[in-house]
Structure 1
Amino acid sequence: MRLQKYIAHSGVTSRRKAEEMILQSRVKVNGFIVKKLGTKVDPEKDLIEVDNKRIELASKKLYIMLNKPEGYVTTLKDEHNKKVVLDLIDNIKERIFPIGRLDKDTTGLLIMTNDGDLTYKLTHPSHEVWKKYLALVDGIPNHKEIQKLKKGVKIDGRLTSKAKVKMIKIYNDSSVLEISIHEGRNRQVRKMCKCIGHPIRKLKRISIGELKLNDLEIGEWRHLTEKEIKYLKTL
C-alpha cells in the first residue's frame, strides 16, 4: 500500500494532506524519515509514525454530519487554543477529520470521516460538488450585482466559476442570499460578496450535493445513513 494511502486510511487526515506531511518530513517508516511520495509499505509488518506517534489502519469507517457553530475551527488541533470541531464529537474512539473546511465564523453542514479515499475524491478540484449557503449581507444587492456573482467575480487574482444565486429575504439594511458554488477556494463566498460591495454578516452552509442539514440543531451531530454514504461515494 502507498504510504499516503496508509496514512489516510488510518484516519489521521486526507490523502492530500498526508502527502504534505510526507514532504514536510513528518512521517517515519520503521524509524526512518520518508520523504518520497508513493513509497510502498506493508500494513502487517511496517511501523508507521506521524509526528513520532504510531498510527494504524482504522478498523471501522465512520461518516458523521455536524452542524458547526460559530467560533470553532476545522483544524484537528489549534496552536492558539481556539475551539476545534472535534471538541463537539463525543463517544467516538476513532480518529476522524473534516472533509473540506468552514472558517471560524461560518456555521452549518460539515462532514467528518476517517475515510481518506472519499475525502480525496470529494475535495479534488475535478469533482464539481455543489455546496449551498445562506448569506446575510449588508445592503440589498441589485439585479446587476447578483448577475456578477452568477457569472463570476475576480478574487485573489482570478475569476470564480459560475454560481447559482437568488434573493431569499429583504430587510431594511440587509438581505439574505442563497448562493451555491462548486469550488472550494479560501473564504470564497465571503470574498465574492465583498467584491460586489455587500460584505457578509452571517454565513451558513445548508447542503453539500443532496446532503442537507434539515433539522439538525447547531452543535449537534449524527451518523450518516447508509443511503447518504452510498450517495457520497457516487459523487
Structure 2
Amino acid sequence: HIKVDGKRLTLLEPEITLLLNKPRGYLSTVKDPKGRPTVMDLLGTVRQRVYPLGRLDFDAEGLLLLTNDGALAYHLSHPKFMVPRTYWVKIQGVPDEKKLIQLKRGVMLEDGKARVVSSHILRQKEKNSWIEVTVSEGRNHLVKRLFATIGHPVLKLKRVGFGPIRLGTLPIGQYRLLTDEEIIKIKKFRVGAIHESPLRRSE
C-alpha cells in the first residue's frame, strides 16, 4: 500500500480492453452458478478485472471484447449508439433475394420489430449457405431469431466485427490487447462505415 501524509491511497487499475476469439462452449459472463466454462477461463494471465461487452451465445464463436474501461463499455453497449455487430452465419437452405430484403425492411419478433443493416450471401451449397449479416442491436439471440423467422435456422454463428474492430486472424481461444489506435477508432466511431469481409472459412 502507498500512503501520503499518513493516508492510504487507492491505486486505480490501468484501463485495458481485450479482443478474444471466443470458442463455442463458453459463456460470455464472469461467473456461472452452474459451473459451466466462461470466457474468464481463457484469460489466465490477465490480472485486471475485465468484463465482457455484450452477449455472444454459448454455442457461438468469434469476436468478444472485454474491458475495465467504463466509458468505453458505455459507448459500445448502450443502445442509443447503435454500434453494428457483423456476423458470418451458416444457415439451413439458401435464402432468395426477397427474404434478404425482408430482413432489411424488418420483421416482427416477440419483443418488437427488428431488422438487419446489411446482408449478403458469401457462399452457398445445395443444403446450406454462409451469410454475412450486420445488425445494430444487441438483443438476445437476435440473429438466430431473424433467420428463423424467414425459415432458415442458424447452424453456426461467428462474430467477425464489432463497430470498427475486426476479428482478423486471431486464433480461436486466444486474446490480444486492443491497440491505442483501435481504442481511438472506437471512441470516434459513428454508424455508417461498415466494411464487408470475404469468408475465410471452409465449412
Amino acid at match of 1:213: L
| Residues in 1 aligned to 2:60 and 2:109: alpha-carbon distance in whole angstroms | 19
CA RMSD, Structure 1 to Structure 2 (Å): 1.5
**Partner of residue 73, structure 1:** 27
**Partner of residue 91, structure 2:** 137
- Percent identity of the aligned residues? 37
Q: Aligned-pair distance for 1:157?
A: 3.8
**Partner of residue 59, structure 1:** 13
1:89 aligns with 2:43: yes
**Partner of residue 108, structure 2:** 154
After superposing on structure 2, the runs of 4+ consecutive aligned residues of structure 1 that deviate more than 4 Å are: none
TM score, norm. by length of structure 2:
0.85
Kept after mapping to 1: 8 A contact 2:92/2:152? yes
**Partner of residue 186, structure 2:** 232
Q: Aligned-pair distance for 1:162?
A: 4.3
CA gap of 1:83–1:57, structure 2 versus 1, over 3 A, is farther
Higher relative contact order (CA 8 A, sep 6+): 2
Amino acid at match of 2:21: N
Q: Aligned-pair distance for 1:58?
A: 3.7
CA gap of 1:199–1:57, structure 2 versus 1, over 3 A, is farther
Helix, strand or coil: the match of 1:178?
A: strand
**Structure 1 residues 155-203: Cα deviation after superposition (integer angstroms, max 9, x where no partner):** 1241114420101111120001110011111110000000000000000
Amino acid at match of 1:155: L
Amino acid at match of 1:229: I
Helix, strand or coil: the match of 1:184?
A: coil
| Residues in 1 aligned to 2:69 and 2:125: alpha-carbon distance in whole angstroms | 43
**Structure 1 residues 108-136: Cα deviation after superposition (integer angstroms, max 9, x where no partner):** 00111101121112111110211110000
Aligned counterpart in structure 2 of residue 211 of structure 1, from 156, 159, 165: 165
| Residues in 2 aligned to 1:162 and 1:107: alpha-carbon distance in whole angstroms | 20
Helix, strand or coil: the match of 1:118?
A: helix
Count residues in correspondence: 182
**Partner of residue 65, structure 2:** 111
| Residues in 2 aligned to 1:180 and 1:61: alpha-carbon distance in whole angstroms | 28
| Residues in 1 aligned to 2:181 and 2:81: alpha-carbon distance in whole angstroms | 20
Amino acid at match of 2:53: I
Kept after mapping to 1: 8 A contact 2:92/2:128? yes
TM score, norm. by length of structure 1:
0.74
Structure 2 gap ranges (5+):
1-6, 190-203
| Residues in 2 aligned to 1:139 and 1:162: alpha-carbon distance in whole angstroms | 19
**Partner of residue 181, structure 1:** 135
Structure 1 gap ranges (5+):
1-43, 46-55
CA gap of 1:58–1:84, structure 2 versus 1, over 3 A, is farther
